[in-house]
Amino acid sequence: MAKSTLTVNMASLLLIFGMLMATIYTTGALTGACYGRIGNNLPSPSQVVSLYKQNNIKRMRVYDPRHDVLDALSGSGIELILGVPNSDLQKLASSQSEADSWVQSNVKNYGSVKFRYICVGNELQPGMTESQYLVPAMKTIQNSINGAGLGIKVSSAIRTDSLANSYPPSDGYFKNDYLPILNPLIDFLNSNGSPLLVNLYTYFSHKYDPTNVPLDYSLFTYNGVRFTDPANSLQYTNVFDATLDAMYVALAKINGGSLNVVISESGWPTAGGSDASVENAKTYNNNLIQHVKNGSPRKRINLETYIFDMFDENQKDGDEYEKHWGLFSPNQQAKYQTTFN
């Protein structure tokens, strides 16, 4: 009898441990995909949600509150980062009632959608008129969220070129002209226990400095250690880790050292630019999905990450490569095999 009870208890403990580990994995380690919609040939939102589920993609980022998308997501179980466009910041910053209406229309009315974060603004930069409205808009949206008892964190996404220096990572710091944006943003995130969203692209590090950032160092395929940080002996084998750790150091210098960081965009184009190819995109994105499970040399944590982009977007402005970040073509055919989660 004692042996039987011990066996049952051990089995119960193993079951509880397994469930705990599954919960930990689900909370942090899953990689999602961004769903950009700047195209005139994209599948319907319901088809997109089905494609996410077929490929075991359990998290999505969208850049504005399209109700057809929210309708399609209802009851899907997919966790969502919902964006507030830069163009809406001024009216939300100036009126709590506008924020209340926005939250009612785009969040409260969709009780079957699993909202993960509200991302207010994206990649605001010095000189942009909308920058002055960023944190005031975040405050009114957070007030509305809190008042509705929804418990959703509010954040914003920044670019890594906000860094003035990223080499070595231990000497990372921000550009002075970004500080009027970042200082109040960091204060808000600290006050509300929200993460900072960071868009991190090793493609651009390589594109603009291929001598110091060679292709293999950008794709997670460099053989061996490329450099050791003299300040702390941390070793770096890829530029993703080096950039992220420089971001951590820079944040610590402006009172953001305790913030969690979410990689809200990262990816590689398949055409339209130097070293933009299907093979390189396949290598980068599959390596990224595995790599972020272990964090960076400075922080060995599960790193929540979103691949940009789910589809090519044929109406995007800018260089040709801007149109070719998709994991899938608009006909829903995968450009290459990607294994999520």
Give the active site residues. Answer: 123, 265
At position 57, the amino acid (one-letter code) is I
Q: Residue 19 belongs to what H/E stretch?
A: helix 2-28
User: What is d(CA 286, CA 339) in angstroms, rounded to the nearest whole number?
Assistant: 7
CA proximity to 217, closest of 233, 230, 229, 206: 206
At position 244, the amino acid (one-letter code) is L
User: What is d(CA 193, CA 187) in angstroms, rounded to the nearest whole number?
Assistant: 10
User: What is d(CA 129, CA 193) in angstroms, rounded to the nearest whole number?
Assistant: 27
Q: Please say whether the beta carbons of 63 and 122 come within 8 A.
A: yes
C-alpha triplet 175, 244, 212: angle, nearest 5°: 80
List, in sequence order, every beta strand (DSSP E) within the chain: 31-34, 59-62, 79-84, 114-122, 153-159, 163-165, 173-174, 196-199, 227-228, 235-236, 261-266, 305-307
Secondary structure of residue 26 in the 3-state scheme: helix
> How far apart, in Å, are the Cα atoms of 135 and each of 94, 116, 139?
11, 19, 6
Tokens found for residue 60: 């999505």
Q: How many CB atoms lie within 10 A of CB 175?
A: 15
Give, as one character, the DSSP assignment of residue 334: B
